[in-house]
Structure 1
Amino acid sequence: MDEYSEVQKDSLISLEEKTEIGICVRNIDLFEIYKYALLNNKKVIITSDMYLPINVIEKILSNNGIDVYEDIFLSSDYKLTKSSGNLFKKIKSIYSNSSILHIGDNRKADNYSAKINGIHAINIKKNNNKLSYSSKKDNLILSQFINNRLFINNNYFYNFGYECLGPLLFSYSVWLNKQLSSDCIENAFFLARDGKIMKQAFNIMYGNKYNNKYIYASRRGYIVPSLNNYDGIRDMLSNFFLEKHFNLDELIGKAGISKSDINNKYNNIDFEHNYNSIDEIMSDDNISSFLNYLYIVITNNSLKEEKLLKNYLKNKGFKGKIGIIDIGWFGHMQNALVKIFGNNIHGYYMGVKSKTPYNNLEMKGFLFDSGLNLNNEKFVRTFVGIFELLFTNLDGSFIHLYKKDNRIYPKFKNNKYSQQKLSNTIILAQKAALDFVKDYRDSYLYKFNNISMEESFSRIRRFGSTPSKKDIKEFSTIHEKSSYVLSEVNLKSKIFYLFHPKCFVNDLNHSWYGGALYNFTKIKLPYYKLYFLFKKLSK
């Protein structure tokens, strides 16, 4: 240290003390023992082999809610150490008439040295790892930050949300703020339903910046009002979100109308006949006149819904340079809004898939973006149902707007998850994630240890690609889908698939791939790698 001046040395000491005060957190398991001791009227003495001065230690203790104690014995203050036993002798001499129990994590200094000096001692684990999804490859500072704030016996979903979803929401919020700022966005809108938790995280970080609001949204709720902006039935159908195989019944449902809206003279049409492409349905001479009629019916309904949507969004301040925020994937809702309101709309998503048909739109993805970070897109694809579930909320899916007594109201589908199940599971995980966002924002670490996109995704990626038995058990109880696909992780029996092999492939395509196969075979393998191979061979 001779190369440093006294002023420099004092500056470095001050910086270290400030850093220690900023980053030190209490051991939450030991803190419970501390509270128990106070509750039972025990005198609490704090002792440590510590070089920092007593005023710094007192500040650290106070910051962590440890304000009530009898005395502090520091090696820096008494020039004695626990490891030598001399600091214990000092304590013993002052409290000679007391029965003393010392609790610490160093076997020699806290256990052996205390006992040979007549003090009872309990040795606790030095590194009590409560992490389930972090690895040595992750940022150690962040992993320790998370570990220091989890209880061993916490609810599974709380710990999961804090460790996996929290860092993702935090890092996404930082990224989103930078994008909104660089693109000079005036008004930002978080789209229902996935956008709710994203808005809550962003508001913790940045408040009401960019006049951000939460608005009703769904593919159906935005696409149907936009359909009148297409020229002809082919152009309209080409912008539907259709499955590989579809029929007229499904088509008119996606167009926002029902059979009751159709003239009775078309009752003889087979609405259940399956088509494989837009070209096929357009070349069917038997329904050509019906399609032209259908275009008029769809357009008239679309105009009505468009008027309501414009009024609703106008009242929300949908103007200027607009940013919309959602979980993402293809950009269907953004495309619909652009058709209605024009091009001054930018989209910011967790991810934009490489096969998006809307490369002309102003879209950006955090985890993956139209071919960038393709591995992240592949990983999300293997557990996309579970990933989306983590962003859901108690509202039903938005269908459309309607007017009653000169007021505009939203109409919702019933939520397929019970409120009780969501409240006890996913909503709890979301609460924990928001707790993480707040804790990390308020921590000294935030100033110099930013969470990268890769770091924020690593834990949730491990969960999704290589789940444990515990993960499968907990999530299998809440994510019930249709009767055809029982759930994300519960496939049908082996005997059933022996006679229906195509069903196995179909069910697997709609499942949490790693979780479903692990649960099905009871053998833990890198199933996400098999998924990539399966997709490659099935092309």
Structure 2
Amino acid sequence: MTNHQFLRKVLRYQKTYGAKATIKRSINEIFNRMRRSIGHSHPYHTLFDRDALLVRIEHPNIRLVIFDIFDTLITRPLLDPENTKHWIARRINCDRYSEQRHTAEMSLREAGSADVSLAHICTEYVRLFGTAEGDAQQLQFIEESIELALAQPLPGMIEVLKMAQQAGKKVVLASDMFLSSDVIKKLLQKCNILEYDALYLSSEVGVRKSTGELFRHIAENEKILPEQAIMIGDHPVSDQQIPQQLGFQIAVLESPLALSAYFPRLSTWIEKVKSAGPTADELVLGNIVRTFFQVQPRQFLLDRASLTQCGRYGIGYAIVGPLLAAFSEWLIDQAHADNIDRLYFLAREGQLMKDIHEVLTSGYNIPQSNYLVLSRRAISVAMIRSHEDILAIARTDYQANSLSEFLLRRFGLTLDHATLTALEKRGIWSRKRLVEIHAGQIDDALLAVLETLSDAIHRRAAMEREPMLSYLQQIKLTEGVAALVDVGYAGTIQGRLCDLLERKIQGYYMVTRAAAAEVRTRHGVRIAGCFGEDLATPDQSPLLRYNVPLEMFMGSDDPQISHYRYQDNHAVVGVYNPLSEAEKASIPLRSELRAGALSFARDYRSMKDSGLGKLRIDPHLAVDIFRDFWEGTSEFERAQIMSIATDDYYCGMGIVHFATFLPH
């Protein structure tokens, strides 16, 4: 965005929302421009070199590869490894469980036990604190079930394990762990780690990695010399310092959580959420950390100036996924409360919204999800029945563009040379004059044009109305209790559907503007906003303030629907605006965003189904992370999204890119 564009934007904002709101927004804009200007790429080079490790593993002198388990092959998506006990405390409703369990474990260790098992710890817990939280077997079962629920794979390192096996090396797993081998095997199986040669657990062998004795036991049992084995693990002492002192080769690996501490923008969020206790938000951040900082199957730049990593996939995973998952959770409650039969996700942003909603709700007793291929252009022209309808369509803001483009995009009219010449001769319109509409103000010249072309517009509306009605009947929008689902703002399409169908259609949105109240009152329908409702100014929500980038993050690869028509056999077909070359070039880029968002949804659904209790993402967290990302986009993050394009012909902007909304 150039300085001239910035000034023009400020003046338009002042005209609509007043001086006070404009001053506040201008200060924020200047601050964000400064913040972005210092967001230069700051690469972070990890200590772990995957390719170099594979070369070392393949060396003929190496006979054995030892893998640590936790935070190497599998992880718990928590912001502190000790938080597992907080999740157990949540399950048994005992705030002091973590502290008391630690006391029980230390009691056993001080009594001289070489190492302890979970069964021993739970027995000691009951001896010290009684059975208020259950007997020893119950406590053991609950703790094991929570461990199983939290376990998530680290695919990058699992791939290294498989490559070691393919190289003909013997692979064993070793862990200082109180869980039994039966439970550990279940965790490994859940994470698709099915093949390994042996499993060494301190709780069963009786000695630990942290003392070096477990490594000596492995070398003796596997009949190898220390230098013939390589140890791969994240703990700087147990997995690196001690085995190296014993003569084992090591691979210096950092756990995802340890790595995240080097990235200030993300670590700020980790610290905020970590103190809140066991919540869905911890799992959201924990899975983001796991995704960003695990060993990757291909090399990614880790950039310290960025909030996100892993390119466009990471932006989809951390920014888009949590936002749409939080919206889906809210949507379920609203639809049940209103006894909705069918939800209609509006094209084109609704495609990803629907996909994520279905990932999170598959198998539940919820209203049927449908994809509604509609646009403001398609529904608006079809519902025209009066001249006031024409003016209502024209009043929507429109960037300076030609009259022919305006009439085509708003009303489906092609302005031929003869008509334009006639308008000029009558002094109604100059050929060089541009159409520009702001805050619903239509100048006298455009009013005269619309009056002159009123009959042509009505003929066009009549031609499009019946095919539109046929399409809406085919998708059963005329039956039962139906609700529209969309990004939001003023409920325009919802209101026009109510007008056209002469029935109530409810509406659920991410955010709505104050103008939605008029549609709600006129039709007696619900127009509800998840992240903000009836907002007076865009600055009341970053989703409204940055609404175009928000829509672009959720955009579909499909072309925009223009209108519906009948074929010769009376079948209804859609007529679409052709994709531009810029939009076609954006398809593979947008697919990475979408893949990340869907991957987050699948991971979150796995957490919700795992027996951790009711989980719900805090909507404020999802919105605030979106705000932090957009207002502080680093140089690296801007490079990922700047060239993604979409069309906004309806508002006169033509093809727009993310770059349009970012400062140079």
Higher relative contact order (CA 8 A, sep 6+): 2
Partner of 1:349: 509
Instruction: State the distance in 2 between where 1:89 and 1:346 align.
Output: 69
Q: Which residue of 1 aligns with 2:494?
A: 334
Q: Does the CA-based 8 Å contact 1:188-1:212 persist in structure 2?
A: yes
Partner residue of 1:186 out of 338, 341, 354: 341
Residue of structure 1 aligned with 2:286, choices 124, 144, 151: 144
Give how far 1:400 is off: 0.6
After superposition, where does 1:107-506 map in structure 2 within 5 Å? Answer: 107-126=236-255, 127-129=258-260, 134=266, 135-136=269-270, 137-138=272-273, 139-150=281-292, 152=296, 153-154=299-300, 156-207=311-362, 209-228=366-385, 230=386, 233-234=387-388, 236-243=390-397, 249=404, 252-253=407-408, 254-260=410-416, 268-269=425-426, 270-272=428-430, 281=443, 292=451, 294-318=453-477, 319-356=479-516, 358-360=519-521, 361-371=525-535, 377=541, 379-405=542-568, 406-416=570-580, 418=582, 421-443=585-607, 444=610, 447-479=613-645, 488=657
Q: Give the superposition deviation at 1:244.
A: 6.7
SS state at 2:211 partner: coil
Q: Structure 1 CA distance, aligned partners of 2:195 and 2:447?
A: 82
Change (3 A) 1:294 1:485: closer
CA RMSD of aligned residues (A): 3.3
Deviations 1:497-517 (A, max 9, x none): xxxxxxxxxxxxxx42xx31x
User: In structure 2, do the counterparts of structure 1 residues 239 and 71 end up closer, same or farther at CA, with 3 Å as the change threshold?
Assistant: same
The residue identity in structure 2 corresponding to 1:179 is: Q
Where 1:327 maps in the other structure, the secondary structure is: strand
Aligned positions, number = 488
Give the one of 14, 17, 27 matched to 2:154: 27
Partner amino acid, structure 2, of 1:313? L
For residue 293 of structure 1, report the CA deviation from its aligned partner.
5.3
Secondary structure of 2:573's counterpart equals strand
Question: What is the distance in 2 between the residues matched to 1:287 and 1:210?
Answer: 44
Q: Structure 1 vs Structure 2: percent identity of aligned residues?
A: 20
Equivalent residue in structure 2 for 1:3, among 126, 129, 138:
129
Alpha-carbon distance, 1:163 to partner: 1.4
Selected match of 1:47 from 142, 153, 174? 174
The change in CA–CA distance for 1:74 and 1:113 in structure 2 (over 3 A counts) is same
- Give the Å deviation of 1:294: 3.4
| Separation in structure 2 between the aligned mates of residue 188 and residue 481 of structure 1, nearest angstrom | 26
Give the Cα separation in 2 of the matches to 1:453 and 1:373: 20
Shift of 1:299: 2.5
Deviation at 1:177, TM superposition (A): 1.6
Letter in 2 for 1:186: D
Q: Secondary structure at the match of 1:66?
A: coil
Q: Relative to structure 1, is the Cα distance of residues 157 and 324 closer, same or farther in structure 2, using a 3 angstrom cutoff?
A: same
Q: Which runs of 5+ in 1 are unaligned?
A: 491-510, 520-539
- 1:56 match: 183
The whole-number CA distance in structure 2 between the counterparts of 1:73 and 1:226 is: 71
Over 3 Å counting, the alpha-carbon distance change for 1:250 and 1:332 in structure 2 is farther
- Once residues 178 and 633 of structure 2 are traced to their aligned partners in structure 1, the CA distance between those partners, rounded to angstroms, is 44
| SS of alignment partner, residue 317 of structure 1 | coil
Residue by residue over 1:515-539, the C-alpha shift from the partner in whole angstroms, topping out at 9 and shown as x without a partner, is 31xx3xxxxxxxxxxxxxxxxxxxx
C-alpha distance in structure 2 between counterparts of 1:382 and 1:417, whole Å: 28
Letter of the structure 1 residue corresponding to residue 249 of structure 2: H
